[in-house]
A and B are shown apart, each in its own frame.
Chain A
Amino acid sequence: AQSVDQPDAHVTLYEGASLELRCSYSYSAAPYLFWYVQYPGQSLQFLLKYITGDAVVKGTKGFEAEFRKSNSSFNLKKSPAHWSDSAKYFCALALNTGANTGKLTFGHGTILRVHP
């Protein structure tokens, strides 16, 4: 069965620093990978996704993520971080089976806190 691991429950840094949120996955075939963000009081919002091709994908709000097949990771990055980036970030995986179920396997999320 597939799984997603976000090893850092909390990440704290100061505004202007570079942020990197870790995500690793377990899946025997090529996955589709996503990052979603949940700002305080808001719903989950799509940031970016990896389907195939270039290892680095760019998303909204200045975020990008790098897909590394060698270590099954899909880390989210942004530089510099801004206090408004404070939120909970979810990494998710969809199976590359063609099945149209809309099923995402989520990690537990990482709460990011950026101090001004």
Chain B
Amino acid sequence: TQLLEQSPQFLSIQEGENLTVYCNSSSVFSSLQWYRQEPGEGPVLLVTVVTGGEVKKLKRLTFQFGDARKDSSLHITAAQPGDTGLYLCAGAKNNDMRFGAGTRLTVKP
């Protein structure tokens, strides 16, 4: 059983569309991170959210941390083929990190 549940597991959209992916848990985290991973590489950190209700924007990406610090969402506006990849959320608890299974996003040109 995953500590962090990510949905959807797979998402395939056309270039220019908007999308939201979710990361949910019954646990409270001190912080939550979103990573993007491409084939053959390790995950690369996109953002860290710490405060309940926090919203962070990174160009076309908007990240939100739930008020109770148990869940998070990632919204991408006007998706591009370069956004294709595996999006992972990870919750920090007791000095270590637990990852979700990820959302595999494909953006078709």
Q: Do A and B come from one complex?
A: no
Binding site for A on B (CB under 8 A): none
Residue positions of A touching B, CB distance < 8 A? none
